[in-house]
């Protein structure tokens, strides 16, 4: 029986989403196969093992982690999906689920990821980057063709993301986004349909799962509430696209996975406009909550949630 460290939480804004992913994983990891210990990284950066509320400092936490066979990462965003935890686990030679240090860091940085995508022929939205230092000095919004999307350069779960259609709204949105990151992306809003497609490695095979179309029911974009409120979005798997379009979408997701150097699994988000698909971003530790998209895609491919988790652990151990 494998000893599994199920790591969740984290100091970033996606702490609660991570806990939801962790709880879902805990409920679906077979007790016949795994001896699982939940490990919580608090917002204060302290580590807590099992049911204990005692905070453990990082050096001691890393020592205790060496008792496990594999770490299952239920982390998202800052300190979980950006390569930092991955680097710590590699330093103690503990195997872990998901992508490695470099791929995680690249995917989390939307500017760097877009540069890699563009270099490999993938379409990405036109955008500019502003730094917090420059913003505080000038406090003036760049000229834009409305609407635009404002988002932190590093982050996930649509935290700090806004769609705006005026200079005043842009200034307000940028101020809010700078609370999460020192760099903010102002991105051309792609008018069209939104899709996502997950990649899953199984043994020596790497497959694109059935894609999903995302239609928020009330919000203008697939924001935090639309993602994590049950029933807030219509999610259609597989989407109403031609077989040729679905194959193209899956091929683009596979390309994004490969050029970033991802491993085990990922999920890439797209917009579809009149010219074709546009890559928005790749998630290296996509959410696995009850409303998350990856489990839906896996189910559409005939893979149950416990089987999905078995696959992720097998990939890590391999």
Residue located via tokens 């994004």:
256
- Give the mean pLDDT of the chain: 91
Mind listing the pLDDT tens digit for each residue in 169-228?
A: 888 988 899 988 899 999 999 999 999 999 999 988 999 999 999 997 765 655 555 555
CA torsion 22→26→29→30, rounded to 10°? 180
Total domain count for the chain?
A: 3
Confidence of residue 141 (pLDDT cuts 50, 70, 90): low
Mind listing the pLDDT tens digit for each residue in 297-307?
A: 999 999 999 99
Residue 288, classified by CB atoms within 10 Å of its CB into exposed (0-12), middle (13-18) or buried (19+), is buried
- From residue 203, alpha-carbon distances to 186, 210, 216, 256, 315 in Å are 40, 19, 35, 20, 7
If one counts every other C-beta atom within 10 angstroms of the C-beta of residue 284, the result is 30
Please check whether residues 183 and 196 belong to one and the same domain: no
**Catalytic sites, residue numbers:** 14, 157, 228, 267, 269, 281, 283, 287
Domain of 278, CATH number, reads 3.30.470.20
Q: Which domain holds residue 165?
A: 127-188
Say whether 288 sits in a helix, a strand or coil: coil
| Own/partner long-range contacts of 239-248 (Cβ < 8 Å, ≥24 apart) | 239/195, 239/211, 239/212, 239/213, 240/213, 241/211, 241/213, 245/272, 246/210, 246/211, 248/276, 248/277
> Pick from 140, 169, 188: which residue ends a domain?
188
Three-class HEC string of 228-242 = HCCCCEEEECCCCCC
> Pick from 154, 188, 222: which residue ends a domain?
188
| Confidence (pTM) | 0.91
Please check whether residues 195 and 253 belong to one and the same domain: yes
Please check whether residues 148 and 110 belong to one and the same domain: no
pLDDT of residue 135: 81
Please check whether residues 26 and 71 belong to one and the same domain: yes
Span 78-86, average pLDDT: 93
Element (H, E) at 291: none
């Amino acid at each position: 029986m494998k000893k599994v460290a199920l790591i969740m939480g984290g100091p970033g804004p996606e702490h609660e989403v991570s806990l939801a992913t962790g709880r879902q994983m805990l409920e679906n990891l077979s007790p016949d196969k795994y001896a699982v210990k939940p490990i919580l990284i608090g917002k204060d950066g302290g580590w807590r093992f099992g049911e204990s509320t005692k905070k453990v400092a990082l050096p001691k936490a890393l020592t205790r982690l060496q008792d496990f066979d594999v770490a299952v990462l239920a982390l998202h965003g800052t300190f979980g999906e950006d390569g930092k935890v991955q680097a710590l686990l590699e330093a103690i030679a503990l195997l872990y689920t998901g992508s490695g240090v470099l791929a995680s860091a690249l995917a989390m940085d939307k500017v760097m990821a877009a540069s890699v995508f563009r270099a490999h022929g993938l379409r990405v939205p036109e955008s500019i980057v502003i730094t917090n230092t420059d913003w505080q000095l000038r406090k003036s919004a760049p000229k834009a063709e409305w609407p635009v999307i404002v988002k932190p350069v590093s982050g996930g779960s649509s935290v700090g993301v806004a769609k705006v259609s005026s200079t005043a709204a842009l200034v307000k949105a940028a101020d809010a986004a700078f609370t999460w990151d020192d760099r903010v992306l102002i991105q051309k809003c792609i008018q069209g349909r939104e899709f996502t497609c997950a990649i899953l490695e199984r043994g020596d095979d790497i497959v694109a799962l059935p894609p999903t179309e995302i239609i928020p029911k009330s919000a203008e974009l697939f924001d935090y509430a639309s993602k994590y409120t049950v029933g807030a979005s219509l999610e259609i798997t597989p989407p109403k696209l031609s077989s040729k379009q679905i194959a193209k979408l899956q091929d683009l997701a596979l390309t994004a996975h490969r050029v970033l150097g991802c491993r085990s699994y990922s999920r890439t988000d797209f917009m579809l406009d009149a010219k074709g698909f546009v890559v928005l971003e790749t998630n290296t530790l996509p959410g696995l909550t009850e409303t998350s998209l990856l489990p839906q895609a896996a189910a559409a491919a005939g893979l149950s949630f416990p089987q999905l988790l078995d696959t992720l652990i097998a990939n890590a151990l391999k």
